[in-house]
Structure 1
Amino acid sequence: MYRSLSLLAQHKEALVSAAYHHSTKVRPRDTRILYYDCTNFYFEIEAAEDMKQYGFSKEHRPNPIIQMGLFMDANGLPLSFTLFDGNQNEQPSMKSLEKEIIRDFKLSDFVVCTDAGLSSKQNRQYNSLGNRHFITTQSIKKLKKSLKEWALGPNGWKKTNSKQEYNLNKLDLDNDDSIYYKMRPINEDKLEQNLFVTFSPKYLRYQRQIRENQINRAIKQANFKQKGRKNNPNDPARFITEKHFTENGEKADKVQYVINKDQIKKEEMFDGFYGICTDLEASPLELIKINKSRWEIERCFREMKTEFQACPVYLRREERIKSHFLVCFLALLVFRLFKQKVPGYSSYELVKTLRKFVLTEISPGDYIPIFQRTDLTDKIHESFGFRLDRELITQKYFKKIFNQTKI
């Protein structure tokens, strides 16, 4: 098994390309929109070596990590992946993998959708060439002052399929579930693009509810004279500040922890707002729809780490580590194709049920099922056109199933 891993790594590009082309015979692949994101996987080791380096762990672990970049198509199916050192910047990984996809998959006309952390100037420029385009999230907090004032301004907001303009100060924020937007062209670093900003009262209510819970936790910390850490941007400790007592005009040693109301007001300014930058000429509804599907790639990573138990990684040789993640990638593709044939169930339910599909051999070539029949097992059998819960499964019936797999 371990020796075969060394062999697999040598054919990674060919296997991923073949998996893509064969998967199109099972389900059409929508490559008009490609989503890209990165995650990392930790190793149960203490010393960094080769690709296993200390970096920012998504799971906040102190172990060395290796990073993975993943492309996914608009149908939620993984397309290709790359691995790079745990201490490297994520941004350059996208361009190199994208070149592989263009070469091996014969793709040239697509839109790349990423989050703000991967939207470097070089990546935007590269995806504004030819028939390629980009859509990337844009932090409103990091905009220039004039653009920030425009984005947060109450006037000039519209709804999709409506020409009327709205003032945010006149909205019923407690009961309105509409999405408002405005758009303007900008020129950043000699790159022409459109800044698209949305405002959602529902999203505003959600953010304020989350913050209210965090403030309550911060108050408890302050009462117990705990300042906490500020490593995580969502940590309640960001609302706690130190207040030093003074005696005779000099700072005393006594310290009191209090809630920083200015920090709360500063964050509340951005509640409900969401920014996108793109060079694509598309309708507001289409941009919202495309960007909304970006969460699917996060689910891909979660399935690899939980259902497939891709980490911690116990391999040491670099080529075997690459093969480990190649197997995980291929399993993810097969599972996602399977999942779309059996909709309405969680990944956990499907994997748990599949692992219980056990048969026992009673005579050479003849088997009987020893798993419990459920609504989900019936749904799986109906979706794929054969049954494994028969009283007796003969070798002849197995051959019939195998014939169905030939494409």
Structure 2
Amino acid sequence: MPVYNDSGEIHYSYKSCIEEYEYSYTDDSGKTIKKKVKEKRVITFNPKLQKKQLREINKLVEKVKKSKASQAKRDEYGDSAKYIEFKSADGKKAIASLNEKAIQKDMESAGYNLLITSEIKMDDREVYNAYHNLWRIEESFRIMKSELDARPVYVQKEDTIKGHFFICYVTVLLIRLFQFKVLKNQYSTSDICTFMKEFRLVKINNNRYINMTRASYFITNLAIATGQPVTNYYLTERQIKMMH
């Protein structure tokens, strides 16, 4: 079933089924235990993802061809190693060749995803959206690591370590709320963090400051969205307190 975007183009297509699937595992005694679980499986196809993955596959194939021409060793192929196979005709020196079957298989599956969930009553689109929102969680951890210096931790006591991460979590929460609720998800967290780092004021007297922040499209729209005088050249003590 196709899902269309605002431009009338197919965003993705999906199809689902609910069945019992058998799983097996080995317990502590070494005994193999088999168990059937009722699951919903949603297969999706995304045209944009297909184009992206096909480009990546072709890029790796080109890398294989270049490495093959330069007689690279097996460990020099990196991610493209899955598209190369080494065969020995005389039992001595292995000759590198393209693994056409692996390339064809990946090309045929480009753009497809199989989503599996135990939430069998969940709507297919909800399953899709839940999966594709996982990247926001991953991005939040990247924010803590790159923007907030969550690691390495330069504290030793348990209370201070907990306090350090608590501050990081609260900061990410506030940034996310600001991003989605105030800026309507029109700007990235990187834009927000860059502004926070580069916002500079110089005090010229007891009640007056000069705004040294460089003008940008983001700051102009930030002023409109928040109603705050972040684009003003001169700022008073009262205006600064209001922004805080």
Q: TM-score, normalised by structure 1?
A: 0.47
Counterpart mapping for 1:209-248 below 5 A: 209-229=55-75, 235-246=79-90
Percent identity between the two aligned chains: 22
Task: Count residues in correspondence.
Answer: 223
Aligned residue number for residue 263 of structure 1: 102
CA distance in 2, matches of 1:352, 1:223: 45
Tell me if 1:198 matches 2:44: yes
Cα deviation for residue 389 of structure 1 reads 4.5
- Which amino acid is 1:305 matched to? K
Aligned residue number for residue 325 of structure 1: 165
Cα deviation for residue 292 of structure 1 reads 2.3
| SS in structure 2 at match of 1:355 | helix
Aligned residue number for residue 74 of structure 1: none
Cα deviation for residue 178 of structure 1 reads 5.2
Aligned residue number for residue 357 of structure 1: 199
CA contact (8 A) 1:359 1:368 kept: yes
Aligned residue number for residue 379 of structure 1: 221
Structure 1 residues 398, 180: CA separation in 2 closer, same or farther (over 3 Å shift)?
closer
Q: Deviations over 1:163-208 (max 9, x none)?
A: xxxxxxxxxxxx9875141313224434322122223455444323
CA contact (8 A) 2:202 2:209 kept: yes
| SS in structure 2 at match of 1:350 | helix
Structure 1 residues 230, 391: CA separation in 2 closer, same or farther (over 3 Å shift)?
closer
Structure 1 residues 298, 225: CA separation in 2 closer, same or farther (over 3 Å shift)?
same
Structure 1 residues 370, 325: CA separation in 2 closer, same or farther (over 3 Å shift)?
same
Cα deviation for residue 216 of structure 1 reads 1.1
- Which amino acid is 1:335 matched to? I
- Structure 1 unaligned segments of length 5 or more: list them: 1-158, 162-174
Structure 1 residues 322, 224: CA separation in 2 closer, same or farther (over 3 Å shift)?
farther
CA distance in 2, matches of 1:372, 1:205: 38
- Structure 2 unaligned segments of length 5 or more: list them: 4-8, 23-34
Counterpart mapping for 1:139-288 below 5 A: 159-160=1-2, 179-188=13-22, 189-229=35-75, 235-246=79-90, 251-252=91-92, 254-268=93-107, 270-278=109-117, 279-288=119-128
Q: 2:137 aligns with which of 272, 294, 297?
A: 297
Q: Deviations over 1:233-288 (max 9, x none)?
A: xx001222222231xxxx23x33222222332443453333112222413323332
Cα deviation for residue 330 of structure 1 reads 1.9
Structure 1 residues 180, 368: CA separation in 2 closer, same or farther (over 3 Å shift)?
closer
Structure 1 residues 242, 286: CA separation in 2 closer, same or farther (over 3 Å shift)?
same
- Which amino acid is 2:138 matched to? E
CA contact (8 A) 1:368 1:391 kept: yes
Higher share of residues assigned helix: 2
| SS in structure 2 at match of 1:179 | strand
Q: Deviations over 1:337-382 (max 9, x none)?
A: 2223224233333322232322222233443323334443232233
- Which amino acid is 1:241 matched to? E
- Which amino acid is 2:198 matched to? K
- Which amino acid is 2:101 matched to? D
Structure number with higher relative contact order (C-alpha < 8 Å, ≥ 6 residues apart): 1
CA contact (8 A) 2:64 2:77 kept: no
CA distance in 2, matches of 1:230, 1:281: 47
Q: Deviations over 1:57-80 (max 9, x none)?
A: xxxxxxxxxxxxxxxxxxxxxxxx
- Which amino acid is 2:205 matched to? S
CA distance in 2, matches of 1:370, 1:260: 58
Structure 1 residues 160, 369: CA separation in 2 closer, same or farther (over 3 Å shift)?
closer
CA contact (8 A) 1:184 1:195 kept: yes
Aligned residue number for residue 30 of structure 2: none
CA distance in 1, matches of 2:12, 2:188: 29
Structure 1 residues 318, 276: CA separation in 2 closer, same or farther (over 3 Å shift)?
farther
